[in-house]
Structure 1
Amino acid sequence: MFLNNLVNYIAAHEAALLLASMLLILVLLILVIYTMVRLSTMRSRYRAMMHGSEVEDIEGTLIQHIQEVERVSATNARILEENELIRQFLRKTLVRTAAVRFRAFEDMGGDLSYAVAMLDANNDGIIFSSIFARADSRSYIKPIRNGASEYPLTDEEKGVLKEAMGQSLPINY
C-alpha cells in the first residue's frame, strides 16, 4: 500500500521532482567546481610556501625556519656584542683635532710655533705645543680631561682646544 502511494505520488509530481533534482545537481556541480578551485589555490600556495625547502611537510618547514631564525638571532647577538666593543674602542680614539701656527715672539719672522689639540669623544686627550725662539725651541705636552687641563693653557692652546671640542663627531657613540 505504501509503495503504491509512493509510486502514484512520484507519477503525479514527476515534472516537479525532475526539476528539483536538476536544481540539486546544478547546486552540487557548482559546489564541486568551487571546491576544486579552492583546492587548486591551496595547492599552489602550499607549493609556493614549500619552495626552496628541503623537507616535504609544513612541520618540517616550520622546524627548519625556527632553526634558521635561532641561527640568525645568535649571529645578531654576536654582532651587537662586537658593535659595542667597537663603540667602546672608538670612544677612546682621537676623533677631534685642531692645530694653529703662530708667532710666539714679535721679533721672530714666520709662524714657527704651533699648538695641536687631539681629543677623543669624551674630550680627553692632549695638547702638543712648541714655542720657537731665536736661541732655542721648547715643546710641551698637556693632558686634557673632560675638556680641561690641570696645567695653565696659553691663548693659542685654549683656542685649539675650543676648536677641537666644537667639532661634531662622525658617528653617534
Structure 2
Amino acid sequence: MISQYLGFDSDYIIIGLAALVLILIILMIINVVQMSKLKKSYKIFMKGKNAKNLEDTLIKRLNQVDDLINANSANEKNIKTLFQNMQRTYQKMGLVKYDAFNEMGGKLSFSLAMLDVKNNGFIINAMHTREGCYTYIKEIIDGNSVIVLSGEEQEALNNAMGENNIAK
C-alpha cells in the first residue's frame, strides 16, 4: 500500500534492504575479526600477569621514574656547584725552564705561572745557583703583575694565557 502511494515497486525495496543487510553482515564480520585480534593482543599482554601484578609493575616503574627525576635534579645541582668551584681553581699553566747564570747548565731554574679562568693567580720563579735555590712568587691579577716580570716570567705568563707571540 505504501509502495503504491510512493510510486515504488516492492521488489526494489526488498533488493535495497537485502543490500543493506549484506553490508551490515560484512561490517559485523570485520568487527569480529578486529575484536579477535584485540583479544589475542590482550591475552599476550596479560599472559602470566594478573591485575595485581600489573598494578605492582606500573607502580614500580612510576617510582623508578620519580627516582630518575630526583637523581637528575641532584646531578644538575652538583654540576652547577662543580662549575662554580672550577671558576676558582687554577686551570692554566705556563712553564719556562732556563739557566739563571751562564756558568750553570742543565736549565735547573724555572718560572711557573698558574692562573684561573679570569687570569688571576701567581708566578713562582725558582733560580738555581751553586749556593742553593731561591724562589720568588709574584701575584697575577687579570693577567698583569704589579711587580715587573723578568723575560722568563713573562714568557711563562704568556704561555699560561695562551699568548705565545713573545720574542725570545
Whether these two folds match at TM > 0.5 is yes
SS in 2 for 1:55: helix
- What are the residue-to-residue correspondences of 1:26-65 with 2, within 5 Å? 26-36=22-32, 39=35, 54-55=54-55
Q: Which residue of 2 aligns with 1:16?
A: 12
1:87/1:32 Cα in 2 relative to 1: closer, same or farther (>3 Å)? same
Identity across matched positions, percent: 29
CA RMSD, Structure 1 to Structure 2 (Å): 4.0
Tell me how far apart the structure 2 counterparts of residues 17 and 79 of structure 1 sit (CA, whole Å): 75
Tell me how far apart the structure 1 counterparts of residues 87 and 96 of structure 2 sit (CA, whole Å): 25
- What are the residue-to-residue correspondences of 1:116-135 with 2, within 5 Å? 116-135=112-131
Q: Which residue of 2 aligns with 1:158?
A: 154
> Does the alignment pair 1:105 with 2:101?
yes
1:51-105 CA deviation, whole Å, 9 max, x = no partner? 998339xxxx6x9887665544333222111110111122222222121111122
The aligned length equals 156
1:128/1:71 Cα in 2 relative to 1: closer, same or farther (>3 Å)? same
TM-score, normalised on structure 1?
0.66
1:134/1:93 Cα in 2 relative to 1: closer, same or farther (>3 Å)? same
Unaligned runs of 5+ in 1: 168-173
Q: Which residue of 2 aligns with 1:137?
A: 133
